[in-house]
Amino acid sequence: MRKQFPFEKLEVWQEARRLVHDVYACSREFPKDERFGLTSQLTRSAVSVANNLAEGSGRSTMKDQAHFSNQAHGSLMETACDLIIATDLEYTRTLVTDPILNRAYDLSVRIHNLRESQLRRAQEAC
């Protein structure tokens, strides 16, 4: 059994990891000529959500952690936007994207709450 990094224990990171899986599964159906366009942008933004949460967890101050939670939230908004656009362009169907977007919405609330908690704790430390 391998050792776990601290970020792997965060429920919000685990949800972001599931989002990455869902986004990659969805984007496999996109047209091949979109591989370097929307497909790439969508998958990179989804991975960025998890990456920013992981990077923030390794920061020593609450203010720095909140900064990376903010970055994760921004990447999540980009991911949601790209999923909506992919649906508009008929690269996928709402039957596929709606469940992902609903989970992304729930994740956005959790990331927002995490960021607010980090900012409160940063203020208390002053």
What would the pLDDT profile of 76-123 be if each residue is shown by its tens digit? 999 999 999 999 999 999 999 999 999 999 999 999 999 999 999 999
Distances (CA, A) of 96 to 7, 38, 47, 69, 90: 28, 16, 19, 27, 11
- CATH superfamily for 8-125 is 23S rRNA-intervening sequence (1.20.1440.60)
Structure confidence at residue 88 (pLDDT): 97
- Phi and psi torsions of 67, nearest 5°: -60, -45
Distances (CA, A) of 67 to 28, 63, 74, 82, 126: 32, 6, 11, 23, 17
pTM higher than the cut 0.75? yes
- Buried residues in 29-42 as b, exposed as e (16+ CB within 10 A): ebeeebeeebbebb
Write down the domain spans for the chain.
8-125
